[in-house]
Amino acid sequence: MKYEIRSMNIGDYSAVIALWNESEGLTLRDSDSKDAIARYLARNPGLSFVALFEESIVGGVLVGTDGRRGYLQHLAVASHYRGLGVGRQLVAAALEGLKAQGIEKTHLFVHAVNKEAQKFYEGLGWIARDEIRMFSFNVGSNENI
């Protein structure tokens, strides 16, 4: 099966958000709106990718950097295309893009109950960081941001 990996652009939003919505274990928030994703892509050009099969988006990953660390978010592959290396290639493209910008360490967040995603990333050599606890702070009134 031949598919193409290319940079994500805001024109891909409808297909990518549909894919993310269908993906179990992936939480979407109001901060995943089209406007917010457009801002994210503009701040992190060439780091997020989609996978296409016959011009249809079958995978996508949102990736950014704060200038010293990379952050991989929202990796999803359509269920019929899992196990074919699509996710691996999306992750590889993201890490290559980050490395080209001098970013050598990348983090990601996986829900504690999403054992399938944890197994996927461990199989790629990612290391779980159990000594770290994530904290969040919301300055606005929207609890779904």
Cross-strand pairs, 60: 50, 76
User: Mean pLDDT for the chain?
Assistant: 96
Q: What is the domain class of 4-123 according to CATH?
A: alpha beta
Q: What is the pLDDT of residues 35-93, one digit of tens each?
A: 999 999 999 999 999 999 999 999 999 999 999 999 999 999 999 999 999 999 999 99
Q: Are 12 and 60 in contact (CB under 8 A)?
A: yes
* pLDDT score, position 145: 86
R_g (Cα) of the chain, nearest Å: 15
Task: Give the pLDDT band (50/70/90) at residue 2.
Answer: confident
